[in-house]
Amino acid sequence: MSPLVIGGLVLSLLVLNGAKMFGPLSVVTNDKVNAQSLNQPFKKSARLAYPTPIANPKPISVGASSAIIYDMDSGVKLFDKAGDQRRSIASITKLMTALVIMDAHEPSEVVTVGNIPELGNYDQKIGITWSEKFELIDMMKALLIYSANDAANALAIYDSGSIDAFVSKMNAKASQWGLKNSNFVNPSGLDQGGEYSSADDVLALGGLLYKNSIFKTIVGTSSDQIYSLQGKPYSLVTTNKLLGQFGVVGMKTGYTLVSGECLITVAQRDGHSIMTVVLDSPDRFQESKSMIDWSFNNYIWQ
């Protein structure tokens, strides 16, 4: 196991190379996450190269209501616009759903679809039905690749017996990890009223999860096909249109009428990794691409 320090909170990470447990994060101390940890959720190392702006860097303008560019290795923010402001994050909520599930279950468990809430005609879903059975890892793929709301609800009920009980776990996790600007009301991120988070909290949550190799593989997958244990196929295509382009290797989309366009990405170029977050963006994909290009064109690592 390798340790991860997030603002004083020491975690133990299980490296998942064929291991049965997700085991992403095991708390081994009761230290609280302080406010600074939301700005620096990753461990720093003096041996790593740090991003330095080039001479006469070009300015960047971002239309999103909140936005962050973060160097994942050094813990340096390259750009921050209203990172601590509360706003809806839509299906990026599913990152917290994933964290709760991964912290308590094994990928090979069998999920039986319970009495999940009925979704609207235009809600994102794969169309699972009552009593169908799936390996949990496949439900996680539906949750994170296709952003399926029915998969989110099925996982929540499988874990806790009800949506409300699962939401209580989500908010307990948010408190545990010091996400002080987050409140969850359902596992999918659909507009319900009372839900909110912030770009800082999304950054911290995404960084936490991205340390897990199974999660990392799932959110880096452009398309896949899963099967119920009864043999019914379901095709999954990522909602992240940037994935596989411009150095983007993973993460999660979100969109509702209330939240606007939201996106968290991880991009890698020349051995350096950055994370971007945009909330309530007029064009989440174009703005995220522009933020990624701006970062690598205007900073050098030394």
> For the chain, which domains are there?
2-42+49-301 (3.40.710.10)
Annotated active-site positions, please?
91, 94, 147
pLDDT the model gives residue 111: 98
From its phi and psi, is residue 172 left (phi > 0), alpha (psi between -120 and 50) or beta? alpha
H or E segment to which residue 237 belongs = strand 233-237
pLDDT the model gives residue 23: 55
Read off the tokens for 13: 């990470």
> Bridge partners of 256?
260
175-202 pLDDT per residue, tens: 999 999 999 999 999 999 999 999 999 9
Q: Which residue has the tokens 């994060």?
A: 25
- Sequence-distant contacts of 268-272: CB under 8 A, at least 24 apart: 269/296, 270/296, 270/301, 272/49, 272/51, 272/71, 272/73, 272/296, 272/301
Whole-angstrom CA distances from 3 to 218, 232, 273 are 23, 41, 20
CA pair distance 288, 251, nearest whole angstrom = 12
CA pair distance 252, 258, nearest whole angstrom = 18
pLDDT the model gives residue 48: 74
Query: Which residues touch 242 (CB under 8 Å, ≥6 apart)?
Result: 248, 263, 265, 285, 288, 289
pLDDT averages per 10-residue partition of the chain, 302 residues: 30 31 39 40 62 94 98 95 98 98 97 96 95 98 98 98 98 96 98 97 97 97 98 98 98 98 97 97 98 97 92
Q: Which residue has the tokens 């991880």?
A: 266
Q: What is the CA radius of gyration of the chain?
A: 18
CA pair distance 187, 154, nearest whole angstrom = 10
pLDDT the model gives residue 260: 98
pLDDT the model gives residue 6: 30
> Bridge partners of 13?
2
Cβ–Cβ < 8 Å for 134, 234:
no
pLDDT the model gives residue 49: 86
222-266 pLDDT per residue, tens: 999 999 999 999 999 999 999 999 999 999 999 999 999 999 999
